[in-house]
Structure formats: structure tokens, C-alpha cells
Structure 1
Amino acid sequence: MLIGLDPLLSPDLLHALRSMGHRQDVAIVDANFPCDPGHDRIVRLDGVSATDVLAAVLSVLPVEMEEPAGAWRMIAHDDPGLVLPVFAEFDALVEQHAPGRGLTAIEPDEFKQRVLASYVVVVTGERRLYGAVVVRKGVVQPPK
């Protein structure tokens, strides 16, 4: 155990997050999301909700602030304006840790490509449909 770290941040996940560079992505996906078994970095957190994992990740990872978007979710049911409860929870967490940021809704095919291109994919036990999010790592600012 380490002081001050969310216990959901497993050794494998911490290693991946620490190894990420600026503008690399972490994908947090639901239990039904198809993941390429050949992906180099898959971390499994079965039995844990995607929102709990996002909260843990955002406790140590800055969100990209210099690009138009820093976090993405999939468009559900072909309706970009449809905000499912899981989307609202993701959005609130991103806003809490990166004020002024929120989720950008993108087409399912584009979302799946972002997941495949992510530095690390975290597979959760999330059972809610569309319970997946991609977050781009921002810059860790020097102390003032």
C-alpha cells in the first residue's frame, strides 16, 4: 500500500499511467467492450465500475487542456445529444478534475479506433452499456 493513492490503482495500472507521455490516451472500457487480445497494454479491473476507475485515474493523471478535447465518449443510439447516466457521471468526474473540460461525443467507429490507439486499455467490470471513456494525458505542471 502507498499513502494517498486510490487502492484501485493497481501496480500494473500505476506503471502504465506513469509510463504514459503527454498527449497519450488511456481508455477505460466496460465489460462488454471488444478488446484486441494483441494490444500490448491491457489492465483488467474486473468487478469495478468504469466511473470508479475514472475517478482513481483522474486522481493522478492530468487531463489535456491545450487541445480542443481531452476526453471522449461514444455516441449512443445514433443520437449525439443523448446523455446516458454513465455519460453524465463521466462528464462530472472530468469537470471535477479538469474544470472547463467535459466529454466530447464521437461516432462509435472513431471511438473504437481511439481505444485501439490508446497507450493502455483498462477493462472494467462496468455493466452499463456505453460505459467507456478515453482520456488524453496532459502536462504535469512544475511547482510554483
Structure 2
Amino acid sequence: MLRTIPGCISPDLIYALMSMGHGDEIVLADADFPAVSHSRRLIRADGVDVATLLEAILPLFPLDSFVDKPVITMDCSEWGDEPESYSRFREIIKKHDDNFTGFELEKRIDLYDRAVDAFAVVVTSEADGNVILKKGPVMM
């Protein structure tokens, strides 16, 4: 444990966040995400939901300002309304990033394919909702 680093950020997760470079992506995946077959680096965050991880990660993690939409979620329009979790994710992201204008939406299979190229996939206990964060440069 470290001061000011939330306990839900495991040693493996803090290592991944510190190792990522500008433009790298990290997936915060729900419990149903096929993470084992769609990741290069798998990190478990059992008992934690995506919203909690967003609250913990975003004070430490700059979103990429070089792209229009550095936060990617699954396009659920073919199944109906978006998951309720998306509104919570929006609130949290807006609180930590003044430039946030909304999600880039990916079809399910495209999101899975994108996860394969991500720096890491973090599997949570979230019931419904996946988020990909694209890292921006750390401005000193």
C-alpha cells in the first residue's frame, strides 16, 4: 500500500499504468468480457466495479488530448438502451477531464478485437459495461 494510491489499484495495475506510454490503451472490463482470450496482459480486480476504478485511476492518468474521444465503450444500440453504468462513467470522467465530450462507440466484436491490442485488460466485477481509456502525455 502507498499513501494517496487507492487500495483498489493493485500492484499489477499501478505497474501497468506507470508502464503505459502516450497512445496506449487499457481496458476496464466487466465480468463477462472474454479477457483471457482477448488480452496480452490480464489484470484481475475482483470485487471492484469499473466506476470505482475510474474514480481511482483518472486522478493519476491523463486522457489523450490528441484524439477527439479518448474513452471508448461498446455500442449497445442493437440491443436497446445503453447500460445504466454508462451514465455513471460519464459523470466520473467529466469530473476528472474537462475536455471529455463523450464516448467513442465500438461494435461488440470490434471492441473485443481492440482489446487484443490494448496494453492491458483489467477484469472487474462490473455487471455491465466496458471502458477503454487511451493514455495521454503527462504534462509537467
Residues 109 and 50 of structure 1, relative CA distance in 2, 3 Å threshold: same
| Offset of residue 37 of structure 1 | 4.3
SS of the equivalent of 2:55 reads: helix
Q: Which residue does the alignment assign to 1:110?
A: 110
Matching residue of 2:26: 26
Conserved? CA contact 1:114–1:134, under 8 Å: no
Which segments of 5 or more consecutive residues in structure 1 lack a partner in the other structure?
Answer: none
1:139 maps to 2:140:
no
Aligned equivalent of 2:2: 2
Cα 1:39–1:109, aligned 2, differ >3 Å: closer, same or farther? Answer: closer
Residues 39 and 117 in structure 2, CA contact (< 8 A), matched pair in contact too: no
Counterpart position of 2:73: 73
Alpha-carbon contact 2:38-2:113 (below 8 Å) kept: no
Assess if the C-alpha contact under 8 Å between 1:90 and 1:103 holds in 2: no
Q: 1:45/1:107 Cα in 2 relative to 1: closer, same or farther (>3 Å)? A: same
Root-mean-square deviation over aligned CA pairs: 1.7
Q: Which residue of 2 aligns with 1:89?
A: 88
Tell me the matched-pair count: 139
The TM-score, its normalising length taken from structure 1, stands at 0.88
Distance 1:26 1:39 in 2: 10
2: CA distance, partners of 1:108 / 1:37: 15
